[in-house]
Amino acid sequence: MLVSDLRTRFRDEGITPSLVADFQQHVMAFYEAKGRHDMEWRHTRDPYKIVVSEVMLQHTQVPRVAVIYPKFIERFPDFAALAAAEQADLLAAWQGMGYNRRALNLQKLAGIIVDEYNGTVPEEPAVLATLPGIGPATSCSIAAFAFNRPVVFIETNIRRVFIHYFFDDDRIVDDCELLPLVASMLPLNAREWYWALMDLGTALKASVKNPNQRSRHYTKQKIFEGSGRKIRGSVLKKCLNKKVGARMSLRKK
Per the DSSP assignment, residues forming a β-bridge with 215 are 173
In Å, how far are 102, 154, 233 from 201, measured between CA atoms? 24, 12, 29
| Residue 119 DSSP class | T
| Residue 41 DSSP class | G
Q: Is 236 exposed, middle or buried (0-12, 13-18, 19+ CB in 10 A)?
A: middle
Q: Is residue 54 annotated as a catalytic residue, yes or no?
A: yes
Catalytic residue among 40, 54, 123, 192: 54
56/253 Cα distance (integer angstroms): 37
200/195 Cα distance (integer angstroms): 9
Kind and range of the H or E run holding 233: helix 228-252
Q: How many other CB atoms are found less than 10 A from the CB of residue 86?
A: 10
What is the 3 state secondary structure string of 186-228? Answer: CCCCHHHHHHHHHHHHHHHHHHCCCHHHHECCCCCCCCCCCCH
The two most distant CA atoms of the chain are separated, in Å, by 78
Phi then psi dihedrals of residue 215, to 5 deg: -85, 140
Would you name the residues annotated as active-site residues?
Answer: 54
